[in-house]
Amino acid sequence: MTESIKYLWMLLCEESSYIFMLMLIVGTAAVMSFFLQRLFVSWWGKSIILIMCIVVAITEVFVFIEPESTYKQIQTNKQNVIYTLKNCRVSAFEAQQAGFLAKAKDAWSCPDGVTRYMDVKYRDKTEVNKLRTEGK
């Protein structure tokens, strides 16, 4: 459990968009707890419902977000981007065209023979100028 909390914290530090998802899950559990507590009159019944809603919220966080695998996937993607920027060259501009809910991507040729497609934001300006002057 402590490993999951550690990876959840690292994920929230790395990618701040998950904070909204976490708040949404906790907020849903709080609303659910509020409405379920109105069904019970006794203090014990209300306490048990509150504890159950907290357990459900914690379970939802660790099941839906999967902090460990998500964090490791983000780190792997970062390492792939760094490798591509250091070792590869742009071979085709906007090789994958932008479409509905999609971004344009450039083709990058790498020494290992793999062509990678990355967002246009990674395009190196000196590389663009060099290719324009060469006429490619």
Residue 45 lies in a domain: yes
Split at pLDDT 50, 70, 90, the class of 134 is low
Residue 78 lies in a domain: no
What's the pTM?
0.68
Q: How many domains does the chain have?
A: 2
* Eight-state DSSP code of residue 64: I
Size of the chain in residues: 136
Secondary structure (DSSP) of 67-121: HHHHHHHHHHHHHHHHHHHHH-EEEEEEEE---TT---EEEEE-TTS-EEEEEGG
Residue 63 lies in a domain: yes
The mean pLDDT value of the chain amounts to 82
Taking only the tens place, the pLDDT of each residue in 30-76 is: 888 888 877 878 888 888 888 888 888 888 888 888 889 999 999 99
Residue 103, pLDDT > 60, answer yes
